[in-house]
Amino acid sequence: MERFRVLEDDATADIAYVAYGKSLEEMYENAALGLFSLMTDIDSVESVQIDFIKVEAEDREALMLDFLNELIYRWDVDKVLFSDFSCKIKEVEDGLVMTAKCRGETFDEERHVMKVGVKAVTYFGMEVRERCGVWETKITPDV
Amino acid sequence: MVELNKLNENTWEIPREGGMNVPGRVYASKELLEHIKQDKTLEQIKNVAHLPGIYKYSIAMPDAHQGYGFPIGGVAALDVEDGGISPGGVGYDINCGVRLVKTPLKASEVQGNLKKLLKVLFEKIPSGVGKGSRFSLTKEQLREVLERGAEWAVDEGYGLEEDLKTVEENGRMSEADSSVISDKAMNRGKEQVGCLGAGNHFFEIERVGNIDNGKVAEEFGLEDDQVCIMIHTGSRGFGHQVCTDYLRETEKKYKNVVRKLPDKELVYAPGGSQMADRYFKAMSCAVNFAFVNRQIIMHQARKAFEEVMELNYDDLELVYGVCHNVAKKEKHRINGEKKDVYVHRKGATRALPPGHKKVPRKYRETGQPVLIPGNMGEGSYLLRGKKESMDLSFGTAPHGSGRTMSRTKAKGKFWGETVVKDLEEKKDILVKAASMPVVAEEAPGAYKNLKDVVNASQKIGVAEKVLKLDPMGVIKG
């Protein structure tokens, strides 16, 4: 199954892609993978460090927004590029809690070619849904 | 399909229907309107019209294209009490904007040194994705940046007192209060002051080309073939974090408001609420951050011209600086009554007429300089604000040429190296770029024709052409 697909015509100013998953968790993992694939050549990023991320949000879209924005924050401040993700999601009374294991490494100018600087993920066009056993949502980052 | 009625050659109305509080209004020539119809801009203009306390109409400028919530090139004035302020209506890159700086040199005096000049500038101004600042500020220093804006930069030796007289808000929004800024935004901000960034941001060496209004050009201190600099950047990761923080906080606090809106990104802090007050203070911090950013880049330009062209520091003078993504508390006459409004300019330039008290004293009789940059092959235009803009667009003009295709499509269509080679061989424009994929995304062919946008602005009456600036050398992130 395709993990994500970059859309050609969807965001005049920026970039948009669709993330897929056989489970809800896998869709979030692939959304994160798609994000870092836009930014750099993901194959050049080694898994030498692990960041544990916990995100709580009121619904699936907000969870996506907060998760991806947390990753962007870590890139922007700690200069970490991630390439491997493992997400667990639990339903709680007022929403969802995600714990994510994110593997990657610190940005190295010699080895990592940066393609795009993503600065935030927006709600534009985002709608998490399940169709015939496949979860998907569109994601529109601001660059 | 959005219904459109033609009001005149360059003005179109989207009739009020459903939950719209006012009609939509699109300022564009027939040709530009065809571009605008290609994406969701018109629907977004309709959506903005749903906001409470909105006056007159939800406006799209001639360069409008699809954004998130608001379109880019969208303008809306919301009552400060009965309306509100929308973080998404200001946008992510708060106070993304431009500065025009003039040198005393003619193009022929710079041409021979252009390559060296670009090299030195590129070394002095960090550009591109992942390139942090040369400044690492402590939290206390960053608080000064956020609350004092360009005044801080001048006090620290990154500019001259004189510079502050010709920037929107004199380079400082006094409402800024850093106590409402999150730790995350502080962490993103402290390593990012004074860098250009990437995407559509640029540093350009330009020459004065065609002059439409010689008298006004003279009043702005510009003459034929004079070398100028255009700086385009914003508030970097700091502004994005402020937008994200307040969008989420507002969304969580006003769930009922969100439910009634056609698009979540339009969520607003109701007028008079503590949230509106806090967001305005936070937004003002980001505005000041961007003012400092452009001030420091201008300082580096002065240093580069000192080094390469043997000029004095004060030989480079600021003509004017404008904001492109901002909300301002302004007074506007609406149906004969003076109203206090938050004017949201999302990818739009303030364009004040002659005589307006917010126009710097030296340009008071001429009108506010309006800077409209285009793509890297096309250069920029300098216009001036006109009386009619107050009634037509709450004193607003377009901010650029606007894209016609997505970054992904542009990358598939253009090749960065070819774009650079073509610009050098066919147009005599030197490009120095941190990333070739960014050059491909920013290829001139991915943008609308700036001339069409500027001509439409003049015909509509929101601003009047003064002169064109032709590019000589470009730095892209």
- The answer to whether the Cβ–Cβ distance between B403 and A115 falls below 8 Å is no
Is B379 in contact with B445 (CB distance < 8 Å)? no
Sign of CA dihedral B156, B151, B292, B122: negative
Of these residues, B65, B240, B356, B399, which one is catalytic?
B399
What contacts A103, CB < 8 A, 6 or more positions away?
Answer: A47, A48, A49, A50, A82, A83, A84, A85
> From CA B180, how far away is CA B188, in angstroms rounded?
15
Check residue A57 and give its pLDDT. Answer: 97
**First and final CA of chain B: distance in angstroms?**
38
> From CA B24, how far away is CA B59, in angstroms rounded?
6
Interface check for B453 against chain A (CB to CB < 8 A): the answer is no
- The answer to whether the Cβ–Cβ distance between A114 and B130 falls below 8 Å is yes
Is B305 in contact with B43 (CB distance < 8 Å)? no
Domain count, chain A: 1
What is the CB neighbour count within 10 angstroms for residue B118? Answer: 21
Is B92 in contact with A122 (CB distance < 8 Å)? yes
- Residue spans per domain, chain B: 5-81+92-476
Indicate the pLDDT class of residue A13, thresholds 50, 70 and 90.
low
What contacts B430, CB < 8 A, 6 or more positions away?
Answer: B114, B115, B118, B423, B424, B472, B473, B474
To the nearest whole angstrom, how far is the Cα of B198 from the nearest Cα of chain A? Answer: 7
Check residue A11 and give its pLDDT. Answer: 62
To the nearest whole angstrom, how far is the Cα of A77 from the nearest Cα of chain B? Answer: 6
**Which residues between 85 and 144 in chain B have a beta carbon less than 8 angstroms from any beta carbon of chain A?**
92-93, 128-130, 132
Indicate the pLDDT class of residue A12, thresholds 50, 70 and 90.
low
- The answer to whether the Cβ–Cβ distance between A8 and B408 falls below 8 Å is yes
Q: Which of B93, B198, B403 shows the shortest C-beta gap to A12?
A: B403
Interface check for B188 against chain A (CB to CB < 8 A): the answer is yes
* Stretch (H or E) spanning B275: helix B274-309
Single-letter code of the amino acid located at B407? R
Is B477 in contact with B197 (CB distance < 8 Å)? yes
> From CA A15, how far away is CA B199, in angstroms rounded?
11
Q: Would the pTM count as exceeding 0.80?
A: yes
**Which residues between 6 and 65 in chain A have a beta carbon less than 8 angstroms from any beta carbon of chain B?**
6-16, 39, 58, 61-62, 65
* E strand intervals along B309-361: 317-323, 325-334, 337-346, 349-350
> From CA A14, how far away is CA B100, in angstroms rounded?
26
Q: Which residue has the tokens 């903005």?
A: B48
Is A18 in contact with A127 (CB distance < 8 Å)? no
Interface check for A73 against chain B (CB to CB < 8 A): the answer is yes
| Mean pLDDT of all residues in B357-375 | 96
Measured between CA atoms, the residue of chain B closest to residue A72 is: B237
Ramachandran angles phi, psi of B462, nearest 5°: -80, -20
To the nearest whole angstrom, how far is the Cα of B204 from the nearest Cα of chain A? Answer: 20
> From CA B167, how far away is CA B178, in angstroms rounded?
22
> From CA B189, how far away is CA B95, in angstroms rounded?
14
What is the CB neighbour count within 10 angstroms for residue A6? Answer: 17
> From CA A121, how far away is CA B474, in angstroms rounded?
29
Q: Helices B274-309 and B236-253: crossing angle, nearest 10°?
A: 170
Is A138 in contact with A20 (CB distance < 8 Å)? no
To the nearest whole angstrom, how far is the Cα of B240 from the nearest Cα of chain A? Answer: 6
| Mean pLDDT of all residues in B172-198 | 94
Interface check for B236 against chain A (CB to CB < 8 A): the answer is yes
- The answer to whether the Cβ–Cβ distance between B408 and A15 falls below 8 Å is yes
The CATH number assigned to the domain holding A32 equals 3.55.10.10
- The answer to whether the Cβ–Cβ distance between A114 and B435 falls below 8 Å is yes
What is the CB neighbour count within 10 angstroms for residue B471? Answer: 26
Which residues of chain B make contact with A113, given a CB cutoff of 8 A?
Answer: 435
Pull the structure tokens for residue B240: 């994005």
Alpha helix (H) ranges present in B128-168?
Answer: 139-148, 150-155
| Mean pLDDT of all residues in A86-93 | 97
Check residue B404 and give its pLDDT. Answer: 82
> From CA B210, how far away is CA B206, in angstroms rounded?
12
Is B36 in contact with B60 (CB distance < 8 Å)? yes
Length of chain B: 477
Indicate the pLDDT class of residue B401, thresholds 50, 70 and 90.
confident
Q: Looking at the predicted structure, is the pLDDT value of residue B214 above 90?
A: yes
> From CA B228, how far away is CA B318, in angstroms rounded?
10
- The answer to whether the Cβ–Cβ distance between B191 and A13 falls below 8 Å is no
pLDDT, tens digit, 9 for 90 and up, residues B272-323: 999 999 999 999 999 999 999 999 999 999 999 999 999 999 999 999 999 9
| Mean pLDDT of all residues in B196-219 | 94
**Which residues between 139 and 178 in chain B have a beta carbon less than 8 angstroms from any beta carbon of chain A?**
none
Residue B439 C-alpha from the chain's centroid: 20
Q: Helices B236-253 and A60-78: crossing angle, nearest 10°?
A: 160
Which residues of chain A make contact with B66, given a CB cutoff of 8 A?
Answer: 11-13
Q: Looking at the predicted structure, is the pLDDT value of residue B264 above 90?
A: yes
Mean pLDDT over the full length of chain B: 95
Which residues of chain A make contact with B197, given a CB cutoff of 8 A?
Answer: 117
Active site residue B399: yes
Pull the structure tokens for residue A7: 């859309």
- The answer to whether the Cβ–Cβ distance between A116 and B197 falls below 8 Å is no
Q: Determine the Cα angle at B49 with ends B44 and B54, to 5°.
A: 140
A90-94, B8-12, B195-199, B441-445: least confidently modelled range: B195-199
pLDDT, tens digit, 9 for 90 and up, residues B41-84: 999 999 999 999 999 999 999 999 999 999 999 999 999 999 99
Which residues of chain B make contact with A71, given a CB cutoff of 8 A?
Answer: none
B208-217, B252-261, B374-383, B403-412: least confidently modelled range: B403-412
**Which residues between 80 and 99 in chain A have a beta carbon less than 8 angstroms from any beta carbon of chain B?**
none
> From CA B424, how far away is CA B349, in angstroms rounded?
30
Domain containing A103: what range? Answer: 4-142
Q: Is B449 helix (H, G, I), strand (E, B) or coil?
A: coil
Q: Sheet harboring A95-106: ordered strands across?
A: A49-57, A95-106, A80-92
Q: Which of A62, A115, A122 shows the shortest C-beta gap to B68?
A: A122
> From CA A128, how far away is CA B3, in angstroms rounded?
30
pLDDT, tens digit, 9 for 90 and up, residues B337-353: 999 999 999 999 999 99
pLDDT, tens digit, 9 for 90 and up, residues B2-23: 999 999 999 999 999 999 999 9
Check residue B437 and give its pLDDT. Answer: 85
What is the CB neighbour count within 10 angstroms for residue B464? Answer: 22
pLDDT, tens digit, 9 for 90 and up, residues B118-168: 999 999 998 888 777 777 899 999 999 999 999 999 999 999 999 999 999
Interface check for A111 against chain B (CB to CB < 8 A): the answer is no
- The answer to whether the Cβ–Cβ distance between A122 and B265 falls below 8 Å is yes
Which residues of chain B make contact with A119, given a CB cutoff of 8 A?
Answer: 92-93, 236-237, 240
- The answer to whether the Cβ–Cβ distance between B65 and A58 falls below 8 Å is no
To the nearest whole angstrom, how far is the Cα of A120 from the nearest Cα of chain B? Answer: 6
- The answer to whether the Cβ–Cβ distance between B407 and A15 falls below 8 Å is yes
What contacts B34, CB < 8 A, 6 or more positions away?
Answer: none
- The answer to whether the Cβ–Cβ distance between B240 and A142 falls below 8 Å is yes
Does the domain spanning B5-81+92-476 belong to CATH 3.40.1350.10?
no
Q: Which of A9, A39, A117 shows the shortest C-beta gap to B406?
A: A9
Which residues of chain A make contact with B251, given a CB cutoff of 8 A?
Answer: 62
Sign of CA dihedral B402, B407, B413, B414: positive
Write the DSSP string, A52-80.
Answer: EEEEEESSHHHHHHHHHHHHHHHHHHH-E
- The answer to whether the Cβ–Cβ distance between A119 and B409 falls below 8 Å is no
- The answer to whether the Cβ–Cβ distance between A142 and B65 falls below 8 Å is no
Q: Which of B409, B438, B441 shows the shortest C-beta gap to A9?
A: B409
How many CA within 13 A on the CB side of residue B13? 13
Mean pLDDT over the full length of chain A: 94
Interface check for B416 against chain A (CB to CB < 8 A): the answer is no
Residue A4 C-alpha from the chain's centroid: 10
Pull the structure tokens for residue B336: 């004969």
Residue A53 C-alpha from the chain's centroid: 12
> From CA B261, how far away is CA B7, in angstroms rounded?
28
Check residue B199 and give its pLDDT. Answer: 80
Measured between CA atoms, the residue of chain A closest to residue B446 is: A12
What Å distances lie between residue B309 and B104, B117, B304, B470, CA to CA? 11, 8, 8, 20
**Percent of chain B whose predicted confidence (pLDDT) is above 90:** 89
Q: Say if the ipTM goes beyond 0.85.
A: yes
